[in-house]
Amino acid sequence: MNDNHSIFEDTMAEMQPLKSIIILLMFLLCACGDPIKEQIAQQIPLTEQRIDLLAQALDSGQVRNANLIKQYADRLLQDKPDYKPLIDEFLKDSGTQGPMYLALVDRLNTVKNQPQMFQNSQALYDELLNLYQAADPVLYSDALSDPLNVLADMSEGTLPRVNAMSKAQSLAANKAQDFGTGEQLIGNPAYGNWTTGSNGMSFWAWYGMYSMMGDLFGSRRTYYNDWGRSRNYSYYNDYGRKRYSSPDQLRKQTDLDTRTKKSFERRGQKYTSAYSKNRTGASSISSQSKSAQTSANRFTSKASNKSTYAKSSKSAKNASFRNSKSTTSRSFRRGK
């Protein structure tokens, strides 16, 4: 029985490249006369390769903040052994079993296997470009600063934050409310979601083991009404949201923010969107993150312009993966 199961798994693994070729051929056949579909067919294997290369970079220790997650987790386990189940969960982010990486794979599979889920070809192409950028090891390392800095905050100052100001500094700079340990991950669909309670108010619900943060650190329930107006800085919400969210997740975030704004207006109160401006708090953030944010906005706003698609596709093909070579491991003592 075990031998048969092993043979089945080997056969399925061997069929994966063939499946990708078939999907590509189907797109090419449907693309005749449609320049956007032609670019989709060209971009699918590029994006698929980029995500595979990111996996290799993670496995070979070429993603800086992934390495620091391992170092922080080891140190924290020595000081806080009672936190082990939660630390182990964050440790997954240092490799390909973390929720962020798995989300990229899932989104690519949706593009390839369920193209009907997208509003049109333009939306599907935008998603491919966003995924291509998201899998850049430098950008991905920046995105990992959020779970990494949760580990730093769990250490109560023993471990320094990375790519971000201290919590006290960012709270003061943003006039933000303190939503407790783990607040960098609130709003990030890889770690939880906004759930509507019986009172009609939306609150943040952690996935799985991440819910331990409330138990360990006594964090109270976070309501969107409060968080939307008074959130602190996080990489995801201020730089990575459009790359590390699916179109459906972005739509749900926009709908929730719009409903909240209307609720405030009905009461004659002012509401400032959670995403109306970048919060202060980044330090030593890569130039790639800053330029990629502008690029993502450009893809969305000019999606109907065919020349923009051609330019964007060429740019995506030429995007530099060599940056991963400079993301070598560093001791947490130099993380700040």
Token pair recorded at residue 167:
């919590």
pLDDT at 307: 36
pLDDT in tens, the chain (336 residues): 555 555 545 555 555 666 655 555 555 555 556 889 999 999 999 999 999 999 999 999 999 999 999 999 999 999 999 999 999 999 999 999 999 999 999 999 999 999 999 999 999 999 999 999 999 999 999 999 999 999 999 999 999 999 999 999 999 999 999 999 999 999 999 999 999 999 999 999 999 999 999 888 977 899 999 999 999 999 999 999 999 999 999 999 999 999 999 999 999 999 989 999 999 999 888 888 877 666 555 544 444 344 333 344 444 444 443 333 433 344 444 333
Per DSSP, the three-state class of 283 is coil
Which amino acid is present at 139? Answer: L
- Which pairs with CB-CB distance under 8 Å and at least 24 residues apart come from 207-215? 207/99, 208/89, 209/85, 209/86, 209/88, 209/89, 210/86, 210/89, 210/182, 210/185, 212/85, 212/86, 213/86, 213/150, 213/180, 213/181, 213/182, 214/180
Residue with tokens 């140190």: 75
pLDDT at 148: 98
Q: CA gyration radius for the chain? A: 21
Token pair recorded at residue 205:
């619900």
Using an 8 Å Cβ cutoff, are 143 and 184 in contact?
no
Predicted model pTM = 0.80
